[in-house]
Amino acid sequence: MIKLGILGATGAVGLQMIKCIEERKIECDLKLFASKKSAGKVVKVNICGKEKEIIIEEAKDTSFAGLDFVLGAVEAEYARVFAKPIVDAGAIFIDNSNAFRMDKEVPLVVPEINGEDVKLNKGIISNPNCSTIITDMAIYGINKVSKIKKMITSTYQAVSGAGVYGMLALDEQVAYLSKNKDIPNHKIKDINTPDFESRAFKNQIAYNLIPCIGSFTDNDFTTEEMKMQNETRKIMHLPDLKVTCTCVRVPVMRSHSISVTMELEKKLDVSSVKEILKNTKGVKLVDDKEKFLYPMPLSTTDKDIVEVGRIREDLVFENGITLFCTGDQIRKGAATNAVEILELFI
């Protein structure tokens, strides 16, 4: 039986990690870590049919002794703080943050695509960005048949990508607007601590789109947009891949969607692409215009599959294919992918 810890166990991704471990019946001695304010809370879990209560422990440098693996569901600054104590304790750290994704010494892994890369780890393995995972799942089968040279992508990212407060913000703003009330400074209140206020977004999200996720870089793309190129290059071993990406926050509760146009090395027709996708692990082809069936956030919410559809020969690139994909960014885009990396070891 492995000894497993989850760092950041009380957040949306941490809780989903627990759920994935339960669903996949991973036999483990489980420890849960979070911040000091969450320490002492009790979480009920069901490990391989055995129900138990686990007390949340405050994460400290000394917390990880005896563990074999730690799944990280914390922000990058905390991942950096705890990475060394985790590795020094002899555990493998599977980190969901962006702290180590572009570190040459750290594998960046989507198991279906480059699972073999876990063998290169020196104690840390990175989980990619949620939109990158969903996009790469949709295209990796195509890349095996015809190498991808360039991509133009637009992401339509759900508010849950901003965490619990993002979901609360959308709920509260819609409630205000439904009563013909002005939204008070786009602020939300934490339902567990009524005196706490946080700006989930700098602009109204209800009935709106926000074409900026992350901070701006020197080239006027955002950090979130550059991840699509940089991470995909590393995951798919395509060092020369060129990507233009625009990331948009949309008033959808859960599941990210991405429009992808690819220039391929050799031409593939639509029927060939559909056949590839039908046989791609982790992907479901949903493309029936007569029945109005397309990939959509509602149909992928709380599922691990990535839906792909709207397959077209592109009108700009000579060997181009355009598609649309959707996936639950809390599950396959984060927690499930991390647990699948764990499964590669056990």
Which residues are tagged catalytic?
Answer: 130, 256
* Closest to 32 measured CA to CA, from 16, 12, 49, 10: 10
Token reading at 201: 């977004």
* Closest to 261 measured CA to CA, from 227, 326, 220, 312: 312
Which DSSP string corresponds to 48-94? TTEEEEEE-EE--TTTTTT-SEEEE-S-HHHHHHHHHHHHHTT-EEE
Helix (H, G, I), strand (E, B) or coil at 302: coil
For 181, other C-beta atoms within 10 Å of its C-beta total 9
- DSSP lists the bridge partners of residue 4 as 30, 69
The whole-angstrom separation of Cα 138 and Cα 142 is 8
The residue written with tokens 């695509």 in the block is 113
Token reading at 91: 């555990």
Which is it for strands 50-55 and 148-157: parallel, antiparallel or unpaired?
unpaired
